[in-house]
């Protein structure tokens, strides 16, 4: 059987995918700071030239891995929040179930941990990470707003604050599960994530206290303030 020849665009896409797969494996094994462009290229079976034909540097490749993971997660949220809702309670359960399982098979959870540590020590990397995080917070906050409109509920905090909390919680639970799976087992991890998501996106904010009525005189007029003695 004759092998179909790849087009130039297909060949480049194949090279890019192999570099991404190799980088993920090397980053996970060696850590981001100790991984070089040569390490990634060699693991993928390519030269440095092939690497630089697809990425400016290893930072760009690293964030591409995180971006792809985020896009994969967002696709399901878009599907669930993409239309009219007949049963708000069922939608809430579906959203909570999807969120509560994100820690499972999370290919990039170790990379997120790595990113946080590197950011503490590398100012340039921290600036890139913060920019990337701001985009993720904006996207998640958008989903929170969509849920609120579809279900007619109010959130217990501003959507951006909820987005920050949900992302940090998912990272933390994933880390705890990896480090102590007997203590934070699957059932516990899913329960924690589901409960906190429901509490943040469906709990109504407390009502503002009503103003106290002014004290009136027997004639029905507000009492005048006493002048201070000179």
What is the tens place of the pLDDT at every residue in 41-67? 999 999 999 999 999 999 999 999 999
Task: Identify which has the larger pLDDT, 83 or 216.
Answer: 83
Q: How far is CA 143 from CA 67, 95, 110, 159, in A?
A: 17, 10, 25, 9
- Whether the predicted pLDDT of 214 surpasses 70: no
Bridge partner residues of 58 (DSSP): none
What pLDDT is recorded for position 204? 52
What pLDDT is recorded for position 220? 53
Bridge partner residues of 216 (DSSP): 222
Q: How far is CA 225 from CA 212, 214, 221, 230, in A?
A: 17, 12, 12, 15
Triad 120, 141, 191: Cα angle to 5°: 80
pTM given for the model: 0.79
What pLDDT is recorded for position 85? 86
């Amino acid at each position: 059987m004759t092998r179909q020849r790849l087009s130039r665009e297909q060949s480049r896409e194949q090279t890019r995918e192999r570099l991404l797969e190799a980088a993920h494996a090397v980053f996970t094994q060696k850590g981001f700071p100790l991984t070089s462009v040569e390490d990634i290229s060699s693991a993928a079976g390519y030269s440095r030239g092939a690497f630089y034909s697809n990425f400016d540097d290893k930072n760009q490749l690293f964030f591409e891995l995180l971006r792809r993971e985020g896009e994969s997660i967002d696709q399901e949220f878009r599907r669930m929040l993409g239309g009219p809702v007949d049963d708000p309670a069922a939608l809430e359960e579906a959203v909570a179930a999807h969120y509560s399982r994100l820690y499972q098979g999370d290919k990039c959870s170790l990379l997120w941990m790595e990113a946080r540590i590197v950011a503490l020590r590398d100012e340039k990397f921290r600036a890139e990470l913060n920019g990337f995080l701001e985009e993720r917070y904006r996207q998640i906050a958008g989903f929170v707003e969509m849920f609120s409109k579809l279900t007619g509920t109010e959130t217990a905090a501003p959507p951006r604050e909820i987005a920050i909390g949900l992302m940090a919680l998912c990272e933390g639970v994933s880390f705890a599960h990896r480090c102590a799976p007997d203590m934070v087992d699957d059932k516990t991890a899913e329960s924690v994530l589901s409960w906190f998501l429901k509490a943040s996106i469906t709990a109504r904010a407390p009502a503002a206290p009503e103003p106290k009525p002014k004290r009136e005189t027997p004639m029905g007029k507000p009492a005048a303030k006493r002048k201070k003695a000179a």
